[in-house]
Structure 1
Amino acid sequence: MNVNEIRKYFPILDQEVNGKKLVYLDSSATSQKPIQVIEALDNYYRSYNSNVHRGVHTLGTKATDAYEGAREKVRKFINADKVEEVIFTRGATTSLNMVAQGYARHNLSEGDEIVITYMEHHSNIIPWQQVAKATGATLKYLNLTPEGTIDLAEAEKTITPNTKVVSIMYVSNVLGTINPIKELAAIAHKNGAIMVVDGAQSTPHMKVDVQDLDCDFYAISGHKMCGPTGVGVLYGKKSLLEKMEPVEFGGEMIDFVDLYDSTWKELPWKFEAGTPIIAGAIGLGAAVDFLEEIGMDNISRHEHELAAYALERLSEVDGVTIYGPKHRAGLVTFNIEDVHPHDVATVLDMEGIAVRAGHHCAQPLMKWLNVSSTARASFYVYNTKDEIDTFVSGLIKTKEYFTNVF
């Protein structure tokens, strides 16, 4: 399936913005949704909308089968060993908070260490700040190389026998850095720590095998991988999930409730309190089917080609600073000399080009880069080199506009 065929499945791309054909380069913030996912949601609400696990009537059984079927699709997609290791959540942020509050807060104490990096998204910083405050543990930051990558020799020094948690993103949403998670997991385990992975920016774009990575927890965001908003996944090794405390309580996750005490259901339902994210999970299952049909290796190859082409074209524009390593995932973060990123994004929007501007929920990284904000163009399976050409032409117009005005 080539990119032109793939684009036909995304109805939102066939429109004009400000009188120009839409060029959507903000998939790191949220991806667009193929018609297969839209139809899966529509079919659930039209044909078998019902709660799951609770009724024996036909609609309830059909909804339960679809919901649990989506769980099995995710299990295969990330190669989890057991289906009960796949927990549906509201998103990667919820998943990371569940690990921080349900596992770390109950297992860490004064003298213990948590290791993260400067490149982390706020959702992989703030939960660990809160755990450190609550337990007396020390939050440590792993230094980065000048180009924004992780040096494993530095990691060997920073991760010590006192380290209990290492939590690092697989792919940076700002730098595009692809981190050596498998090697970091080995270092963490050698020191008796668990390895937590923020997979929000990796799962949509590359083949993920949680068993090969040997990570202990892995967080997924559904809306960044062609799925609906409001759904995600927490993968965890069964042995750790069984010891981990729930962070939400109520219906669905209970086994038996007495007047003064209660017991919990087995995995995975122990962590899915209340009516679960039924439509979201079904939609995510459809997204997995769609991505599998294209092939994750094909998606990764396409995005690496786009990123390399974007770097080449941007190098032709004077006054552009690009952040991150040469070998990167499918995004480019940059600044134009003497033009604020918000102004860049505003002018590009007038050309129908959607990019992100701001601190990208990564203020510590902005400080490390010595900037307040940046602009970012991020690519996905439906983007083309022609769109990158349009984007670069838009940047040249932006430069000319601010040069002539000011």
Structure 2
Amino acid sequence: MNTNINNTALPDEAALEKLANELFRQADTGNGIPGQEVVAQQAIPPSVAGSGQSPAGILHGNNINIDNPQTGFPDKNLQDINSSSIAGDSLFSPALRLKEYLPYEADPAHLFNLQAILSLIPVDNGMGLQLPGTVDHALEDVPAYYFLESKPALVSSWGFDAYAVKKDFPILSEHVNGKPLVWLDNAATTQKPQQVIDRISHYYQHENSNIHRAAHELAARATDAYEDARKKVQTFINAGSPNEIVFVRGTTEGINLVAKSWGEQYLQPGDEIIITHLEHHANIVPWQQLADKKGLKLRVVPVDDDGQVLLDEYAKLLNSKTKLVAFTQVSNALGTITPAHTIIELAHQAGAKVLLDGAQSVSHMRTDVRSLNADWFVFSGHKVFGPTGIGVLYGKEDLLNQTAPWQGGGNMIKDVTFEHTEYHNAPTRFEAGTGNIADAVGLGAAIDYVNKLGIDNIALYEHYLLEYATRLLRQVPGLQLIGTAKEKASVLSFTLQGYSNDQVGQALNKEGIAVRTGHHCAQPILRRFGLESTVRPSLAFYNTCADVDLLVATLLQLRAAKR
């Protein structure tokens, strides 16, 4: 038996080769035509980890506690459908077929049915592990997962067909190196549904004009489309008014806008800004620049070995000099979901403003800026299935109107003389010049698409897909997951012993699998773990278990080549 870095028992080389071959087969058949009869003869190894912790790196077993999905418990090799113990350490028990556990789309309809999955997950009723069997999970019995503000309606009859969704994205039919594209680089950018592509094309064909100022028909069409997109964003993130939605190029520009407008205007020498160790460079560099320019102090909240923010240490940093707390809701490098409500509340108690970076959260979980109560919230359109070059800065309306513009020019003025300029209120005061009208309209179409699927449905599906991927990745000898927080979104950073990260990325690319390798514009947090880079697969709702199977099978083959 081999042992990985967590001292987890791993199968021998022959069993690993068998698993790799089986996963390749599942990946091939899983991408077939709906209705094709596919039966998975092999099982997920019972030694997989990360059960109910969404998933953490702590090794608990396969079992999810439905009453408290943030905890897990040892699997004892699981139990079969009759609750009889599975004997021995068999890697491939017939009672544990791939299609029976978690969202495996190799069933005839390729349908992920939440109720069916929940009914197959072992639970502890105090008398040992039992399979609920045909128990009908009523709405009130469905766990309130950390990534949901509330339980989704009609959850007991809900289904999610990832294969049907994938057909909405033309680029996912591409072939790379003669293999079907498997897009696992979603944390860098997401792909675009045909609905978004068509909406942008329609704009240029039928509406193209500058907005707000002209009296002709196309100007009216373009203005209506642009402002309608603003209202869609407002509703999507539950802002109080469309006046709180400022269109920018993306998250980076939104953060820089706050730093170079509000920060320049209100922060004074000796004031302090708090960020966390998890931050993207875009939420570090602008504050460093401002601190150097104005004599401010930048303070950093540490994280633990799982990549979780240390709230006790954060509380110690807060003081009367703290004027701003800027942090990410989801780490782009580790996938850690931060305790945003708590961080924001503590900051406000100290009298500080808060900027929340939602670039990696907005496509994975419901965003409610009024519930979060951040003063600013920023995200990029291309991370939420919209175009590149468009993003959003949300700001509380009074705060925006009290902040001087950071750029001057047309559209943002009420009146100009050579002696004085009077500015519009938000959002126009921050949208100088001709904006990215077409891509704002495209972002509105992307939000329509996400709303059609349902953000809570997306969150649930991705949660189970992340569980599935983490359990299989833990079977790869020498693979070390980086970022094992209890609460995570769909990021799976890792290193593989015996290979550079670039070598892994290139090998995956030969199979058509796109992942990110490098420092992910988050060097400080990787260096916290003694690394300069990782391999980073990242998931979206159009990914399937067949995509994950191909990823893991390729990694197992790489390891087999080193023996």
Sort the TM-score into its range (normalised by shorter chain). over 0.9
Is 2:302 the counterpart of 1:139?
A: no
TM-score (norm 2): 0.71
1:318 to 456, 459, 477: 477
The residue number in structure 1 matching 2:169 is 10
- What is the TM-score of this pair, normalised by structure 1? 0.98
Matched, 1:166 2:325: yes
Find 1:378's aligned residue among 499, 517, 538: 538
CA distance in 2, matches of 1:395, 1:253: 53
Within-5 A mapping of 1:173-184 = 173-184=332-343
1:263 CA displacement: 1.4
Farther off after superposition, 37-46 or 99-108: 99-108
Is the CA contact (8 Å cut-off) linking 2:301 and 2:310 kept in structure 1?
no
Q: Give 1:397's aligned residue.
A: 557
**Aligned-partner Cα distance in 2 for 1:155–1:258:** 48
| Partner deviation per Cα, 1:23-46 (whole Å, 9 max, x = no partner) | 100010000000000000000001
TM-fit CA distance, 1:326: 4.2
CA displacement at 1:226 relative to structure 2? 0.4
Answer yes or no: is the 8 Å Cα contact 2:335–2:489 preserved in 1. yes
Match 1:127 to one of 286, 291, 314: 286
1:20-31 superposed matches below 5 A:
20-31=179-190
* Pairs within 5 Å for 1:197-276: 197-276=356-435
The 5 A counterparts of 1:295-374 are: 295-324=454-483, 325-374=485-534
Q: CA deviation at 1:398?
A: 2.6
Q: For 2:489, what is the secondary structure of its paired residue?
A: coil
Which of the residues 60, 71, 74 maps onto 2:233?
74
Q: What residue in structure 2 maps to residue 113 of structure 1?
A: 272
C-alpha distance in 1 between matches for 2:449 and 2:324: 34
Moved more, 278-287 or 99-108: 99-108
Secondary structure in 1 aligned to 2:493?
Answer: strand
Deviates more, 1:22-31 or 1:250-259: 250-259
User: 1:183-230 CA distances to partner (integer Å, 9 max, x unpaired)?
Assistant: 111100000100100100001111000000000000010001000000
Cα deviation, 1:219-247, whole Å, max 9, x if unaligned, reads 01000100000000000001110111211
Q: What's 1:280 paired with?
A: 439
Q: Distance in 2 between matches of 1:63 and 1:328?
A: 39
Corresponding residue of 2:215: 56
Larger radius of gyration: 2
> Equivalents in 2 of 1:370, 1:105: separation in Å?
35
The alignment partner of 1:332 has SS state of coil
Q: Which has the higher helix share?
A: 1
The question of whether the paired residues in 2 share the 8 Å contact of 1:348 and 1:398 is answered with no
Offset at residue 252 of structure 1 (A): 0.8
Which residue of 2 is the match for residue 193 of structure 1?
352
Residues 105 and 134, structure 1, Cα contact 8 Å, conserved in 2: no
Shift of 1:302: 1.2
Deviations 1:327-386 (A, max 9, x none): 310110000012111111011001100000000000111211101110000000100011
Q: Matched residues in 2 for 1:160 and 1:143: separation?
A: 17
What residue in structure 1 maps to residue 248 of structure 2? Answer: 89
| Identical positions, percent | 44
> What CA distance in whole angstroms lies between the structure 1 residues aligned with 2:399 and 2:270?
22
Secondary structure of 2:471 counterpart = helix
Counterpart code for 2:372 = L
Residue 153 of structure 1 deviates from its aligned partner by 2.0
Aligned-pair CA distance for 1:256: 0.8
> What letter corresponds to residue 343 of structure 1 in structure 2?
Q
Task: Name the residue aligned to 2:143.
Answer: none
Unaligned runs of 5+ in 1: none
Deviations 1:97-143, CA, capped at 9 Å, x for gaps: 00111111221112211000111000000000011111111000001
Aligned partner letter, 1:249: G
Over the aligned positions, Cα root-mean-square deviation in angstroms equals 1.0
SS at match of 1:218: strand
The gaps in structure 2 that reach 5 residues or longer are 1-159
Give the deviation of 1:4 after TM superposition.
Answer: 1.4
- Tell me the CA shift for residue 168 of structure 1: 0.3
Describe the superposition over 1:60-85 as per-residue Cα deviations: whole angstroms up to 9, x where unpaired: 10110000000000000000011100
For residues 481 and 209 of structure 2, the distance between their equivalents in structure 1, rounded to whole angstroms, comes to 49
Separation in structure 1 between the aligned mates of residue 301 and residue 544 of structure 2, nearest angstrom? 36
Q: Are 1:34 and 2:193 matched, yes or no?
A: yes
Distance 2:259 2:558 in 1: 43
